[in-house]
Amino acid sequence: MKHKHIFLILALAFSAFLPGASAQAILTYSHGDTLSARDTVILYPISAAKFKSKNWNYSVHVRADSLSGANAGTVYLQFSNDGTLWWNHPTSITIDGPGTSFDEYGWDGILYAQRLRIYAITPDATARTVRLRTAAILRP
């Protein structure tokens, strides 16, 4: 529980340096999950049609920590208008740090779609477990 609070504080502090930081956040989201061998996690920080009325600034932060074995896998930021057809942000995160390190990345931009999700997948391996932590902020 203590780690969740620290992560949320770091995510909010990180967001203070982003463009438009003075605007009030409409939506804040944070989530943690654990992936094991050949595992997939899909997180939906923004999935509502009400966001289509205008373009919004988004900030998404992801941190992958190895719990056992070396970090491995890929994390994608994806967008959709209908929730069926998703397209990837041009930059993905390759989770490849050694067992004692972590991989971290943030995406910032303008959301032109109705939905945004974080898609994480790990490869085939029996001795790998990765903790994935995410935070997202949406501003007008």
For residue range 31-81, list pLDDT tens digits in order: 888 887 778 888 887 665 555 566 788 899 988 887 776 667 888 999 988
Closest CA to 125 of 62, 73, 53: 73
Token pair for residue 48?
Answer: 């509502």
58 neighbors 126 (Cβ within 8 angstroms): no
One-character DSSP codes across 45-89: EEE-GGGGGS-EEEEEEEEEEEEES---EEEEEEEESSSSS-EE-
pTM for the predicted model, two decimal places:
0.71
Domains in the chain and their CATH numbers?
A: 2-139 (2.60.120.380)
- pLDDT digits 0-9 by tens, 76-104: 999 988 888 999 999 888 777 666 667 88
Structure token digits, residue 55: 């373009």
